[in-house]
Amino acid sequence: MNSESSSSLGEKLAALLGLLRTAGNLLGAAVGGSASRALMLWRQELRRAVTALALALTAAIFTCAAAGFAAAALVEALGDTHRLLAYCLLAVIFVLLAVLSGMLIHRQTAPDHSSRQ
């Protein structure tokens, strides 16, 4: 009887260990799959961010070129007689654009004070 009891206990223990091994394998596969999906999504978002940054830099370069051509056209249009007026007008325009950009940056980066009330 004792040998039957120990073999029955051994079989139950073997079955329990097999069940635990299977559960561990399933859990490992689920965690591994989630980690690989998260890594894939992170790489996609990084690729999007780098692409957006590259396109923004390209747009900034073309905007600077357009501003330069506009300034040259304004100076040429006003001619030799009003050259100083053209340069002063350009300086005022660029100062206004810089102030506007600063205000927009401040507004976008300032914390939301409405949540304190």
pLDDT at 75: 86
Q: Give the residues of the chain that fall short of pLDDT 50.
A: 1, 116-117
pLDDT at 104: 84
Q: What pTM value is reported for the model?
A: 0.50
The answer to whether the beta carbons of residues 87 and 75 sit under 8 Å apart is: yes
Q: How far is CA 105 from CA 54, 60, 94, 109, 110, in A?
A: 20, 16, 16, 6, 8
pLDDT at 35: 72
pLDDT at 47: 87
Q: What is the pLDDT of residues 55-73, one digit of tens each?
A: 888 988 898 888 888 888 8
Q: Domain coordinates of the chain in residue numbers?
A: 1-55
Residue with tokens 């206990």: 9
pLDDT at 3: 60
